[in-house]
Amino acid sequence: MTVAEFELQEYLKQRTALVDAALQTWLPSEALLPERLHEAMRYSVFAGGKRLRPVLMMAAAEAVGGRAEQVEHAACAMEMLHTYSLIHDDLPAMDNDDYRRGRPTSHKIYGEAMAILAGDALLTEAFRLLADTRANASVPAATTARVIELVARFAGSRGMVGGQVVDMESEGKAIDLPTLEYIHTHKTGALILASIQVGGLLAGADDDDLRALTRYGEAVGLAFQIADDILDVVGDQTALGKQVGADQARGKATYPALIGLEQARNRADELCQLAQDALSRFGTDSEPLRQIACYVVKRTS
C-alpha cells in the first residue's frame, strides 16, 4: 500500500466490519441463559459506536508489521470495556443520561439493576477474552499476562475509573488545567492508550516501537477528549446521538470553558501534529494511525 493509495474511510469501514463480526462471535448469544442479560450486553455493544479503540489497536498492530486479525479478540475486549464504561456512566447515579449513540440508554430499556449487571458482565467478559487460550494460541504466555496487567491498570483506579472519580468530584467546582488534563488523560485517554499499546505488544513491537506508540497514544487520547469537549459546544445533536451542551449544564470543566474555543482547537491541532511526529520511525504501514490522529480532531460525531 502506498500513502497516496490509502483511503481512511474505506479503512475504517473494513476494520469496523472485522470488529463487528468478531464481536458477534465472542459475545454470548441472546439464546443463552440468562437471555435478558445477554440481550442487554448486545443491545449496548451493537448500538452504533465508532469502534475507535478496536480500530486504533488494529492500526497499531499494522504499524509494527502485524495484521489486524492478530488482535481481533483483544480489540473486542476493549470495545466491551468501553461499552461497560458508557452503560455505567449513563446510570442515574452518574450522568443520568436517557440517550446514548442515538438510542435509549441501557437502564431506560432494561432497568437500572440489569444495566449495572450488563456493564459488570461486559467488563468481566473483556478480561476472559484477553486471557482466552484459543484466541491467544500464537501469543507467548508472558505477553498475554503483560496485556492483561496493562489493560487492568489503564481501566481501573489508576486509569479510567480514577479519571471518572476526579471528574465526578470536580463537578460544579472551578478546577485548573492540570486537573482537567488529569481527568481527560485518565477517563478517556487511558483506554485509547491501552488499545494502542496492546495492538503493538500483540504484534511483537520492540521497546522503541512501544515508546513511539505511547507518545502517539497519549497525544491522540487527549486530542480525542478535547475534540469531544468542543463538540459538546458546537456539535450537531443528531450526528452525535446525544444532547449537546450537557457539560455546561452539569457544571463540568472543559477545555473550551477553561481556555476558550479557539485555544482548545489550537491545542487539539497541536496534539494531532505531536501524534503524527511520534510515528516517524514507522513506514507506510503507519498511515492508518497517522490519518486517524487527524480524524479524531476533525470528527463530527
Residues 204-233 close enough to bind ligand GRG by CB under 6 A: 228
Minimal distance, residue 237 CB to ligand GRG, in Å:
14
Q: How far apart are CA 119 and CA 299, in angstroms?
A: 27
162 binding ligand GRG? (CB under 6 A): no
By CB under 6 A, tell whether 86 contacts ligand GRG. yes
- C-beta of residue 80 within 8 angstroms of C-beta of residue 55: no
Q: Pick from 106, 254, 52: which is nearest to 244 by CA? A: 254
Examine residue 197 and tell whether it contacts ligand GRG (CB under 6 A).
no
Q: Is the dihedral of CA 108, 54, 180, 301 positive or negative?
A: negative
164-193 residues in contact with ligand GRG (CB under 6 A) are 164, 187-188
Query: What are residue 103's DSSP bridge partners?
Result: 100
> In the complex with ligand GRG, which residue's Cβ is closer, 52 or 115?
52
CB of 248 to ligand GRG, least distance (A): 14
CB 291 within 8 A of CB 6: yes
Query: Reduced to 3 states, what is the DSSP secondary structure of residue 104?
Result: strand
Which range touches ligand GRG (CB under 6 A), out of 24-32, 78-86, 250-258, 282-290? Answer: 78-86
Give dist(CA 109, CA 87) in Å, integer: 12
Site for ligand GRG in 235-254 (CB under 6 A): none
- How near is the Cβ of 4 to ligand GRG at its closest, in Å? 29
- Does residue 221 contact residue 189 with C-beta atoms inside 8 Å? yes
Q: Is 161 an interacting residue with respect to ligand GRG (CB under 6 A)?
A: yes
Q: Is 125 near ligand GRG (CB under 6 A)? A: no
Binding range to ligand GRG, per CB under 6 A, among 79-87, 109-117, 172-180, 200-208: 79-87
The DSSP element (H or E) to which 39 belongs, if any, is: helix 35-45
Alpha carbon distance 178, 90 (integer Å): 26
The least CB distance from residue 243 to ligand GRG, in Å, is 11
Quote the cell numbers at residue 203. 504484534
Residues 47-76 that bind ligand GRG (CB under 6 A): 49-50, 52
Interface region with ligand GRG, contact rule CB under 6 A, candidates 44-52, 64-72, 174-182, 204-212: 44-52
Cell numbers representing residue 240 in the block: 452525535
Binding site for ligand GRG (CB under 6 A): 49-50, 52, 82, 85-86, 88-89, 101, 160-161, 164, 187-188, 228
